Every structure is written in C-alpha cells, then in structure tokens.
Amino acid sequence: MGLIYNVSRDGMFVVNGAGFNVERYVTISMPQITLEQEPIQVSGLVIHRNNVGFGVMFARVDQSTRGLIAKLAERRCSV
C-alpha cells in the first residue's frame, strides 16, 4: 500500500518506503475521480526505486484504461 504520486499517461511514482524490486511487474489499484466508480486496475514494471518509493511504467494497458488514466492525470495536474 502507498500513496500514488505524479501520475502520467505512461506511469507513476508510488510513495512507499518498502517498495518493490526494480524489474518486477506489479498490479496497482488506483481510485477514480469519484469514489462511486470502480478503481482502475493497472499493471506495470517497477523501473526505479529509492528510499521514498518506486516508479512504475505502465504495461499491458488497454485503450479504455489509458483514457481513464489520462483523465486522472489531467485532473490531478489541474488541482
């Protein structure tokens, strides 16, 4: 579990001191804009890690999910 930070169309950074090993595939559940909507499930590859958290590059994401991620990223950037 961690705090999703810096979401983009291609990936995200997750604040979590424990983290995962680099080059490991993970599945992350992200809340949508409203809590009534189902969370977005996305798989990705951990591409870097530090003492604060880890960076994930999205992989195997369908077009519908990419659209939801883009909307989420745009909304978070405009706040």
Over its length of 79 residues, how does the chain's per-residue pLDDT go in tens digits? 677 778 888 898 998 877 788 999 998 887 776 667 788 888 999 999 998 899 999 997 888 888 878 877 776 544 4
Number of domains in the chain: 1
CA-CA distance, 78 to 48, in Å (whole number)? 26
pTM confidence score = 0.77
54: domain range?
A: 3-78
CATH of the domain at 33: 2.40.10
Residue 61's CB is within 10 A of a number of other CB atoms, namely 18
